[in-house]
Amino acid sequence: MKVAIIGIGTVGSAVATAVKNTGLVHEIVLFDRDAVRARAAAEDLGHAASFGFDVNISPANNYRAIRGSDIVIIAAGANQKPGETRTDLLQHNADVIRDIVPRVMANVDPKRVVLILVTNPLDVMVMLAQKLSGLPPARVIGTGTMLDTARLRTILARGLSVSPQSIHSYVLGEHGDSSVVDWSSITVGGLTIDDFCRQLKIPLTAAIRNSIEEHVRNAAYEIIRGRGATWDGIGAAVADLLKCIINDEHRILTVSIAAGTGAHVLAMSLPRIVGANGVIATLNPKMSAAESAALKKSGKIIQKNFSHLG
Residues in the site for ligand NAD, rule: CB under 6 A? 6-12, 32-34, 37, 75-80, 89, 93, 96, 99-100, 118-120, 122, 143, 147, 175, 229-230, 234
- Does the annotation count 26 as an active-site position? no
Tell me whether residue 5 or residue 160 sits nearer to ligand NAD (CB atom): 5
CB of 290 vs ligand NAD, minimal distance in Å:
25
Cβ burial of 224 (10 Å; 0-12, 13-18, 19+) is: middle
Residue 248 phi/psi, 5-degree rounding, is 50, 50
Buried b / exposed e over 253-268, threshold 16 CB at 10 Å, is bbbbbbbeeeeeebbb
Write down the least CB distance from residue 9 to ligand NAD, Å.
2
Q: Which of 175, 215, 264, 308 is catalytic?
A: 175
- Helix residue ranges, H only, 161-288: 193-199, 206-227, 232-246
Q: Distance between CA atoms of 293 and 123, rounded to whole angstroms?
A: 19
Give the closest residue to 286 by CA, choosing from 188, 184, 216.
184
Chain residue whose CB lies nearest ligand NAD: 9
Least distance (Å) between residue 5 CB and ligand NAD:
10
Task: Return the number of the residue (69 or 193) whose C-beta is nearest ligand NAD.
Answer: 69
**Nearest-approach distance from CB 92 to ligand NAD, in angstroms:** 9
- Judged by beta carbon, residue 142 or residue 299, the one nearer ligand NAD is 142
Question: Burial, 27: exposed, middle or buried (Cβ in 10 Å; 0-12, 13-18, 19+)?
Answer: middle
Closest distance of CB 202 from ligand NAD, Å: 29
In the bound state with ligand NAD, the residue whose beta carbon lies nearer, of 34 and 195, is 34
CA distances from 19 to 27, 32, 56, 227 (A): 10, 17, 12, 22
203 or 226, CB closer to ligand NAD?
Answer: 226
Residue 76 CB coordination number (10 Å): 22
Active site residues: 175
